[in-house]
Structure 1
Amino acid sequence: MTTTLPRPPAAPPADARSARSLVDAVFRAREISIAGALVLLLVGTWITNPRFLSDQGVKDLLLNASILVLLAVGQTVVVITRNIDLSVGSVVGLSAFACGTFVAGTDHGPLTVLLLGTAIGVLCGLVNGALVSFGKVPALVVTLGTLYIIQGIDYWWAQGRQISANEVPDAVLRLGSGSVLGIPYLPLLGVAVLAVTAYYLRSYRSGRELYAIGSSPQAARLAGVPIRRRVFGAYLFSGAVAGFAGALWLARFGTVVADNARGWELTVVSAVVVGGVAVVGGVGSVWGAALGALLLTTIGSVLVVLKVDAFWQGAITGALLLAAISVDRIVNLRVTRALTKRSARHGNGA
């Protein structure tokens, strides 16, 4: 009696591997170019105004970028699955106002605020994730709808009221203004979330499966990837990070109103795409998204230092977004053309 051993799974075709390597190399090159552009921007502005990179100037730059970096990290996890979350700005506003209302006039510490903000974000992410992954409603429609719903809830709750810094416990405000070894707490928290997320996406199977879903949902399904569960988890994470960022918003600014972070969702998407995360999913890293967020924040600060009209910040952000999407499209077309030629050559050789 002979025993037939199961055949090992076939390795990915050489063309697919080389195409993947080409795309990854291009997007890594974009991350390097963004870092170079950021350095040139900082040095050029410093030459014009040496106070820009003073100790306080660097701290302000890091503080201003921290919340946007966090939101970009959460958005990246969603975008690599070929989806999008437009509700993050509204979640930040709701979380900030809810946390401010909860701690106003009390002696609650920062841990309570962070946990409450994260819980609110998880709830919002749960709604988005359930509708997108299990309800099969397009992500753009779902998150655009929840954006307005959350904003409406926030306005209804606030009734024109605001939470002032003098109502917020000192311990919470110290989280937003304090530092360790000269480095503010907020950037340290942002880097911690960034590093943990990057490690998860790179080292865990479930993290790599998110890339597989974005690269080819059909292939991921055939490979046994639980697509619905992974997409649902991505939205939970994005919501949790946005809620966490809302709590940090309260700690950073002290005074919160109903429309905090209004319009930030487009800035977050811009940071992610500019940072090399492909809008078609499957390619990019949280490090690149963080660089994109830092670049956009730095541009805003530079325009203020140079006394340039704030209108140009939006114009520059839009131009960078269009350029990044154009690069994505060009790369995809070139890879597709290269694969077609190689397939034709191999077919003729056979």
Structure 2
Amino acid sequence: MDYMDSETQEPDDLPYLETEYDMPPPLAAECKSFKWKIEVIDTAGKIEGKMITSKEVWKIQNSKVIVHFDEVSGQPIGESGGLLGSWLGQLSNDVNLLPINYSNWRMVNPHIKTKVWEVIQSKFWFDDPPTRKVFVMSALGSRCKDVKLRLWKEYKRDSLSETLLNRSENVSENQWSHFVHMRFTEKWKKMQERNTESQKKNIMPHVCGRKSFSRKRNDITIKTGKRPCRAEFFIETRTKPNGSFVCEEAKTRAEKLTLLGQKSHVTNNDIASLNDEYAQVFGPERPGRVRCVGRGPTPSKLVNHSPVTRQEIENLEMVIDLKSQGTELSDQVKVMTTFIQQVIGTSTGEQVIIYFITSSFAVAFANIPNPAFANVPSPPNPNQVNYN
């Protein structure tokens, strides 16, 4: 589906978005009564501890919830991080502020995102707003995607016309019409088929539940006094309370990770490194992402928290790119081997291919250092506050 110009133009009804935002949106699920142990800061800069539910955040006056972040990964941690995530889930149901008729979160009207960020900042306090905004808005985009998926599952019918008529009373007719027409296109259907196939490959689910990886990792760090590496974190999050693994494949991978960990003499406190045990078992990373870490961190971001040079960062990204091309190169070699064998004979073909592989890899990997993530310092502990 093509992006529409209207997605990036200022909406005519933007002035009507002004509201107090003092209660959850009608579409939001009933808020649970769970109380989060957090800190709030008032307009005078006074900080105090409180026990508060996500619903009570909407009623906050003249103060904001302080959100703590992991300084290495840049992810929200602790109960304040959990409260933020829960509240964002409620906010994402406000279809007046966050319409559902957009094709891609990145293309959502910037005026809408600006207004949304103002609403978020009216409830939560961030130590570095411009930096934290990147993560928070990305997380909100994911929550909005969940809302659209839930509405589609609940109100979709067999045909376009039937679905158009089966509209939630909380969604405007114009929004619903645009949303439904986009979802009935062939391009969207093909995308869903690809996503379904990709989801089938997720055969080793974690046991974190609704808790984010960053919060789970922080819990482990507090409990053990050591930040878990990816191998340790994978084993921890694929092990059930009774000690068994979520599946046989997870057990096999965990055994390999444990064996590699016993052989390793590295005792640093890094979350991840280029050739750590996790990468050896699961394969190299794709450019721009780090698995088993959670939303946000990339190879460069993690390295930027370490005392390494720009050249080492560039070398790291270069090696990741080269490794990601390994499968493609292997396929090309197989095709070339078959072709040469057919043309000039098996023995000669093997000699040529050996020469090709040797020379190609020699050129590709010559003079490339072996970069690794340097030690990453542990984040400072939050200020101790009495909760009475």
TM-score category of the 2 structures, normalised to the smaller one: under 0.3
Identify the structure with bigger relative contact order (alpha carbons < 8 Å, sequence gap 6+).
Answer: 1
TM-score normalised to structure 2 length? 0.24
